[in-house]
Structure 1
Amino acid sequence: MKAIEFDQAFDDGQDVSDVLDVSKARRPQQAQRRVNVDFPTWMIERLDEEASRLGVTRQSIIKVWLSERIEAQDKGRGEQATRNATMLELTP
């Protein structure tokens, strides 16, 4: 199956799993390490409330929120770096 056919089948909602070779699939940057973090009781209660509201685990909420924060910081740094580079270009 050509890529354009695959894309069209996928976009049409067809099951394309039979043409995928998942034996070589990998998830980049998914290595995990266990860490222990102490949280104040009020924070755990709030995390649990949000997890319950969304129907997910506390760990999932923590991972998503931390990921969002890191991505936001990375984006901010990228924009700042662009601004700094622009300023350097404008400086005589």
Structure 2
Amino acid sequence: MKTISAEEFDRKFDDGEDISEYIDWTTATRPNLEPVVLTVTVTRGTKLRLERQARELGLSADTLLEEWLREKLDAVTPSAAE
């Protein structure tokens, strides 16, 4: 992996140049994408409806709920912090 200054890296990135030779892809991560546990209390009926909808879509209830939350949050407060 080649090394350059942060300023040069930023310039190359901003100019649309290929910067992949300056990145160690074995250790690269994207911030705020690590899973965390969120406890939500809902009624049994809501849980059953969520599970049924998730099954129909071929998703887990967790995945469907996360997608719905993301869509709702993006509609209210679009964020580039993902």
| TM-score relative to the length of structure 1 | 0.53
How many pairs does the alignment contain?
Answer: 59
Name which of 68, 71, 81 aligns with 1:68.
Answer: 71
RMSD across aligned C-alpha pairs, in angstroms? 2.3
CA distance in 2 between partners of 1:33 and 1:49 (Å): 24
Moved over 2 A (4+): none
CA distance in 2 between partners of 1:55 and 1:32 (Å): 20
Residue in 1 aligned with 2:43? 40
Structure 1: 5+ residue runs without aligned partners?
4-19, 76-92
Question: Which structure ranks higher in relative contact order (CA pairs < 8 Å, sequence separation ≥ 6)?
Answer: 2
Structure 2: 5+ residue runs without aligned partners?
1-16
- Taking the TM superposition and a 5 Å limit, the aligned residue runs for 1:20-59 are 22-59=25-62
Identity, % of aligned pairs?
24
Question: Which has the higher Rg, Structure 1 or Structure 2?
Answer: 1
